Amino acid sequence: MDEIEEFYKNHRAGAQDAAQSYHSYYFLLLLLRMEVGEKIGFEVKEDIHIQKADGTTEFIQIKHTIQKAAQGNSVNLTTLDKDLWKTLLNWLNLIQLPNFENLEKCKFILITNKEEKENKFQDALRAFKSKEDNDTQIFLNKISSIPTNNPEIANCITEFKKLSPSNLRLFLNNLNIETGNNDVIKKIKNEILKKCMNEKYTETIFNSFCSQLQEKKYSQICSEGKYEISFNDFLKDFGQCMRIMYKNCPLPERRLEMDLLDNLESQIFIQQLLDIGDIYQDDSEEIRDFTFQKLHTINILSDWIENKEIYQFDLDMFEEDIMGTWRNVFREKYREIKKKIKEGCSIEDLEEDIKSLAIGILDELRKKQMTVPGNTSPLSIYTSNGYLYLLSDELKIGWHYKWENRYRNL
């Protein structure tokens, strides 16, 4: 190799870039495996840490190599591997700090794509955990016999000896070294496949997750200096990555069992319809049908959220869209009424005109098949109208010009 090629080789950043990518991919893998109540951090307490729902913290160190053995596999994690001993020394220094958290609630995991071969430290750790030599002194004797001239390894062995027998036992029982972790991208795609259950979407969803994670991680690290995400935040920030599955598929409108309330006429949305003359007191069949539509919509939205067919932020956006449409129609229809009131006309004198316009607003919106954000297939008229009745029952929308003042005390 000539001097120029040697210069280029010494200044290449390929290995660092591969290691950083491996770190990010493994973080995504753990995000996809995250459970309710958990929180994961990137470069906060460790390369990655997981705060479990039971209060346990997992400290995860990620090590990657592009070096290959003669057989073409990644090089081995040998007894004197620098990554191994540097990681162990960092953890030993950490747990000996005065205010370190409860060691019983901590796990320490080294993840590497290096293969395992002839590693005396791992042999000693396995023997300790298998109860063959379940004695801390035997473990210390074994690692003390490892021949080395490396001061960092010698220092690490010394730090092991400083631990009390009880703390050493806790640390060893909660220490795991996972070698041969290749194909992290394949593992991610397998996790996605488990969730979407359709292989044709896997690649698109994978790319969406990678892009979203890169953006979110970069943005939060720049603004807050760290990146942590809870299970609920993961659903909120990354739920859209799964939408490709549902984009062209209608949401399933299951008919769920429901019981009718007593005194249906007392419902606020029914009162609104009665006041504008859309229905009358003796229209019992229509009152019953409209109530069924409202209850159906309440149940079906809850069902979709529970089954992860939509997410709460989808529902929030859906509500904002519908209320925005209603505001536009309301403003358009009542523009002349507002002008007349400003000119001195009383509401009472305009009542018949207001009722006619109110029915016009209602009729226009009843014709609209609404669409949940992220899904291209519109909802049925039955569900769409039920959502209008739900919003008017919650006094978020109304039909009469002065609807807000009429029903507040009902």
Which tens digits make up the pLDDT trace of 54-64?
999 999 999 99
Cα dihedral 206/370/322/410 (nearest 10): -120
Q: Residue for token digits 């018949």?
A: 352
DSSP-assigned beta bridge partners for residue 58: 50, 107
Exposure string of 73-84, with b = 16+ CB inside 10 Å and e = fewer, is: ebbbbbbebeeb
| Burial grade of 260 (CB within 10 A; 0-12, 13-18, 19 or more) | exposed
Report the distance separating Cα 360 and Cα 40, nearest Å.
52
Report the distance separating Cα 403 and Cα 357, nearest Å.
13
Q: Residue for token digits 């309710």?
A: 36
Give the model's pLDDT for residue 248.
59
- Look at 142 and 256; give whichever has higher pLDDT: 142
Mean pLDDT of 106-130: 94
Q: Poorest-confidence range of 222-231, 256-265, 393-402?
A: 256-265
Give the model's pLDDT for residue 21.
94
